[in-house]
Amino acid sequence: MPNGRFAPSPTGDLHLGNLRTALVAWLFARASGGRFVVRMEDLDRVASNREVAARQLDDLALLGLDWDGPVRFQSDRFARYDAAIDRLSAAGLTYPCYCTRREIRDAISAPQGTAASEGTYPGTCRDLSEAERAERERAGRPAALRLRSAHQTVAVIDRLHGVYRSRVDDVVLRRNDGVPAYNLAVVVDDAAMGVEQVVRADDLLPVSPSQSHLGHLLGLDGVTYAHVPLVLGADGDRLAKRHGSVTLRDLAADGITAGQVTSRLAASLGLARPGESVTTAALVDRFDPDALPTTSWRVTPWPEAPWPA
């Protein structure tokens, strides 16, 4: 019975794509008798907002999704991330990086035929001498901290995509403003919260090998993955606010209830007939991970879509 999670960033109201992923993650956990936890990924303390987090939790509850234990906030857990980084540093697996984003973009776009052309960090600061590092520090250049990876290829098994392989990059562990980086934080948190199965949107599939590798280096239990196809707007682009009424509050203003949203999400997953009214609780017995769609769902605007009455 794998335990699952939903981990949004509290920077804005959840849209239909977020809610659909939350529903699938909840069903994966509940259908197998597992626990389901919620974590707010608010590392970006400028853009994140606790009032937004509260609205997101309200939206999950309106869809009939419940969770076990208290909601965790990453902004409260920096000590855990710092301890993990210290462990990697003690093993000689980190180095400071003084590159700006622009310098990295320029290096990646250079016609060198090296790792840079593959979109990974080009290693500019990987082997700097102590004198070179001191020179950059005297110039006031803030340093991020990167993983000194072996650049091996790591494979993960995804429930929807099968085996996925990619080369592990020198990922950032701590940003140059001192904030722990996403890739490290999610690995530490999933282990600490007992998460065994990560269900999320498939735009994050490419980072899964690096996260799996980080977990291995830290001696943490691994997770399994299920990356759900993205939800698209009617124009074929990734669903966003510009597509109109895409949040529960927007839809409620148009007279569409949370129950209707639940039913339409279920239909998009093949768990209900178009127009059938269902509840999340009823979907648990219908859920079959092997029958989930593997292509993106394109949302058409009301009233063209078959919303149940």
Instruction: Write the pLDDT tens digit of every residue in 4-36.
Output: 999 999 999 999 999 999 999 999 999 999 999
Q: Give percent above pLDDT 90 in the chain.
A: 81
Domain range for 141: 79-184
pLDDT (tens digit, 9 = 90+) per residue, 236-281?
Answer: 899 887 877 899 999 999 999 999 999 999 999 999 999 899 999 9
Phi-psi region of 3 (alpha: psi -120 to 50; beta: other; left: phi over 0): beta
pLDDT (tens digit, 9 = 90+) per residue, 158-175?
Answer: 999 999 999 999 999 999
Tell me which of 128, 150, 184 is where a domain ends.
Answer: 184
Residue 121: inside a domain: yes
Predicted confidence at residue 306, as pLDDT, reads 54
8 Å CB contact between 59 and 48 = no
pLDDT of residue 117 exceeding 50 = no
Pairing of strands 144-147, 172-174: antiparallel
How far is Cα 121 from Cα 244, in angstroms, rounded to an integer? 37
Q: Can you tell me the mean pLDDT for 183-191?
A: 98
pLDDT (tens digit, 9 = 90+) per residue, 67-92?
Answer: 999 999 999 999 999 999 999 999 99
Predicted confidence at residue 25, as pLDDT, reads 98
Residue 215: inside a domain: no
Phi-psi region of 204 (alpha: psi -120 to 50; beta: other; left: phi over 0): alpha
Predicted confidence at residue 305, as pLDDT, reads 54
26 lies in the same domain as 92? no
Record the tokens describing residue 99, joined without a space. 């590159």
Predicted confidence at residue 118, as pLDDT, reads 44
DSSP state of 181: P
pLDDT of residue 124 exceeding 60 = yes
Residue 172: inside a domain: yes
pTM above 0.85, yes or no: yes
254 lies in the same domain as 180? no
The DSSP code sequence of 235-262 is: TSSBP-GGGSS-BHHHHHHTT--HHHHH
Tell me which of 125, 157, 184 is where a domain ends.
Answer: 184
pLDDT (tens digit, 9 = 90+) per residue, 295-308?
Answer: 999 988 655 555 54
How far is Cα 226 from Cα 79, in angstroms, rounded to an integer? 29
Q: Give percent above pLDDT 70 in the chain.
A: 93
How far is Cα 274 from Cα 264, in angstroms, rounded to an integer? 7
CB burial string 24-42: b at 16+ within 10 A, e below: bbbbbbbbbebbbbbbbbb
CATH (domain of 249): 3.40.50.620
Q: Can you tell me the mean pLDDT for 196-209?
A: 96
156 lies in the same domain as 238? no
Q: Can you tell me the mean pLDDT for 135-140?
A: 95
DSSP state of 180: B
166 lies in the same domain as 257? no
How far is Cα 42 from Cα 74, in angstroms, rounded to an integer? 6
Q: 45 versus 60: which is more confidently predicted?
A: 60
Active-site residue (options: 105, 126, 151, 241): 241
CA atoms within 13 A on the CB side of 303: 3
Reported confidence tier of residue 113, pLDDT bands at 50, 70, 90: very low
Reported confidence tier of residue 110, pLDDT bands at 50, 70, 90: low
- Mean pLDDT, rounded, of the chain: 92
> By CB neighbour count within 10 A (0-12 exposed, 13-18 middle, 19+ buried), where does 17 fall?
buried
8 Å CB contact between 125 and 96 = yes
8 Å CB contact between 144 and 103 = no
Predicted confidence at residue 103, as pLDDT, reads 87
101 lies in the same domain as 171? yes
8 Å CB contact between 164 and 205 = yes
CA atoms within 13 A on the CB side of 170: 20
pLDDT of residue 145 exceeding 80 = yes
CA atoms within 13 A on the CB side of 119: 4
Predicted confidence at residue 309, as pLDDT, reads 41
CATH (domain of 125): 3.90.800.10
Q: Is 241 a catalytic residue?
A: yes
8 Å CB contact between 34 and 3 = yes
